[in-house]
A and B are shown apart, each in its own frame.
Chain A
Amino acid sequence: MNGPFSDFTNEPILIENIPDFEQPALKPLDKGYLTIMYISNLLQLVLPIAWIVLIPMFFPEIPSFWSKMGLILILAFILVQFLIIRWSFGVKGYAIREKDIIYQTGLFFRSKTIIPFARVQHGEITRSLLSRAFGLSTLNVYTAGGSSSDLSIPGIRAEEAEKLCAFILQKVNQEMKDEEE
């Protein structure tokens, strides 16, 4: 095999022993998050739907065929959106290991990011109006690597998010102490 680790084959035990980031099963997001996404998706489409429905009322001269077509298109669009939301929900998930946090997201463009606690700058919890109604929170984890490497994990139960955030911060502090000692 012409892999990158041919140099290490004289120490096969070491390379075998390195923990595999694909191994821990990802914990899916809370089901409530799916509902939130559906609702916010519908809210975004309220205006176009209203427009399509109201047009025949105020402009009867536009043939009803076209307004019907518009409605069908919008409905199809909603359906596709719902499917995408449903499928990408299935992709999203996170896992916490002893020394890092893993998050996977993206239906068509999938990324699985691993951030070691030793590199976390800070963690925070944000809650939107809708997610508050469902008792959910978003956990944000920041590194010095800039926005592309930061994590934002939505749809975690509020109390669990608190616990997770506290856990991560505790880990971060511990790592910092270890470094100083």
Chain B
Amino acid sequence: MEMSIIAVFLFFSFISTLGSILSYFRFYFWLDDRHFNLHEGILRKNKLQIPFERIQAIKLEQNLFHQAFSLTALEVETAGSKGAELKIYALPMALAQEIRSYVFSKKEEMDISKEESVALKGIPKTSIQTEFDGGDLLFKLSTESLIKIGLSQNHLRTMGLVLIFTLVTFERITELYMRYAGEEALEEAYGLGNFLLNAMFLGVSFSVLLALALGYSIVQTLIRHADFMVYRTREGLRVIGGLFNRIEQVVVRRKIQLMVLDANPLKRLFGLKRVRFFQASSDLMSTKESIVIPGCDVVQEKKVIEEYISPDRLLNLKWHSVQPVYAVRYFLLTLLLPLLIVVAAGYFRFGIQALWLLWLIPVLGVLANLHYNMLKYAVDDDYLVLKKGFWNRRIFIVKLYKIQSVELYRGFYELRRGDIGSVIVHTAARSILIPFLRIDEAQKLINYLIYKVEADRRDWI
């Protein structure tokens, strides 16, 4: 009986090994002047041909096995239709890097020949370099800054995870306790007489929870961004990081649709900012196409930002506020309404004491005002910049010719008032909302943005 099970098992593993080996021999890829070609499959043959101009990014990813044999997985990401993506599971690292350089230099050559015929006769055609261009190392994140990044991560999620884990464990312990010590002992342990003990237990367990969450975040950050290095190459930034899974990505300069900088209070305390580059994505819900530099100091930030906007320019923008009524609306809808709901719920549960929470109203008023003061936008000849958020400060930067479409949006309140409107700017990566502008201001802004998009001959993708 057992023998037959083993036999069946062996048979299936033999078949699957055979399948892997056969598919290895049936797996071909090659590059010609304009395409990435792939043929694969034994029974169902799959032929794929991706033109270079459709390729958005080439990503190299190494897990531990890859690292041990200096291999890498190579993934080709395209814009537009889904499912046309291509993945090669193992390649020698050097070859993979050479392939990437080749594809991007070919792409660049196509673009140059495109641009050459437009204007500027004097530009010499750059010679095609197929050898790997590693670029210059801009900086490497030190262990110290990685720990800071870990500390300043959003702990709510990790705390939630740890909380669930603790609750499950706690339940299990209670169960065991009940089984061995009886229910009465348990009741005594939870009883009012042991209030102090319980309070202490709560305090201790909360501290443990916090410590666990922090530790988890730090370890996770150290693993995910280990040895994080940023290079500048001809085509853009090259970013490598990760301990077990080493991921290498290239931010192609021309392909950046949107850049977002953000810093929560802890990050600001450490003088760090997170920088994210968004490229055109076929699937808007995924953040796959965003390339993240988890935290950089002022000097590093300048070097990184330069890929998209000159830091001086960002500093010298002329900022404009939105209409003050935004603060009122934000206060009423986003802050006061949830508070009132909480108070109402508390009133029914705990009685009159819940009304003490109403003292928070002035605090919320101050918060709304702070939030309003942080919301600013700026437009110049080439950029639209929006900054917002009091706790988590974010700056969105879009090159005007990357804009896909512009929308004048008016909700119920705005329509009734008639003299204000919001502007939504859609890019191939994300949409940006500039709320509550005076209507003539909004119209002027839209006219200007659309004019800038339509007057620009550059290819956005």
Contacts and interface: CB of A to CB of B under 8 A. Distances in A.
Interface of A: 2-7, 15, 18-22, 99-100, 108-116, 118-119, 121, 143-149, 178-181
B326 to A, nearest CB: 16
A7 B313 CA distance: 14
Contact of B447 (A20, A116, A178): A20
A7 B380 contact: yes
A111 B408 contact: yes
Interface of B: 79-80, 114, 117-118, 280, 284, 318, 320, 377-380, 403-412, 415, 424, 426-428, 431, 438, 441, 443-448, 450-451, 453-454, 457-461
Given A109-B412, A145-B428, A179-B459, A5 B406 contact: no
B280 A118 contact: no
A45 to B, nearest CB: 25
Given A19-B451, A110-B409, A148 B426 contact: yes
A108 B428 CA distance: 27
24 contacts: A4-B378, A4-B379, A4-B445, A5-B448, A18-B447, A18-B451, A109-B411, A110-B409, A111-B407, A111-B408, A111-B410, A112-B407, A113-B405, A113-B407, A114-B450, A115-B404, A119-B404, A119-B460, A144-B79, A144-B461, A148-B426, A149-B426, A178-B457, A181-B118
B234 to A, nearest CB: 23
Contacts of B377: 4
A178 B408 CA distance: 29
A144 B447 contact: no
Nearest to B438: A3
Contact of B444 (A4, A7, A100, A147): A4
A179 B457 CA distance: 6
A2 B448 CA distance: 16
A112 to B, nearest CB: 4
- Which of B406, B411, B438 gathers most chain A CB within 10 Å? B406
Contacts of B403: 119
A108 B380 CA distance: 33
Contacts of A116: 405, 450, 453-454
B405 A145 contact: yes
B320 A4 contact: yes
A18 B444 CA distance: 9
B80 A121 contact: yes
Nearest to A23: B447
A118 B451 CA distance: 12
Contacts of A119: 403-405, 453, 460
B160 to A, nearest CB: 29
Nearest to B416: A108
B407 A149 contact: yes
A145 B454 contact: no
Q: Most chain-B CB neighbours within 10 Å: which of A7, A116, A179?
A: A116
Given A22-B443, A181-B117, 6 more contacts: A4-B441, A15-B448, A110-B409, A111-B409, A112-B409, A119-B405
Nearest to B377: A4
Contacts of B114: 179-180
B447 A113 contact: no
Given A3-B320, A119-B453, A146 B411 contact: no
A19 B377 CA distance: 23
A116 B443 CA distance: 16
Nearest to B380: A7
A102 B117 CA distance: 32
A125 to B, nearest CB: 20
Contact of B405 (A108, A110, A149, A180): A149
Of A4, A20, A100, A115, most B-chain CB atoms within 10 Å: A4
Contacts of B438: 3
B443 A100 contact: no
A119 B402 CA distance: 9
Nearest to B79: A144
A118 B438 CA distance: 29
A3 B302 CA distance: 29
A84 to B, nearest CB: 13
Nearest to B431: A148
Nearest to B320: A4
Given A119-B460, A121-B80, A145 B447 contact: no
B225 to A, nearest CB: 29
B431 A145 contact: yes
A112 B427 CA distance: 16
B327 to A, nearest CB: 17
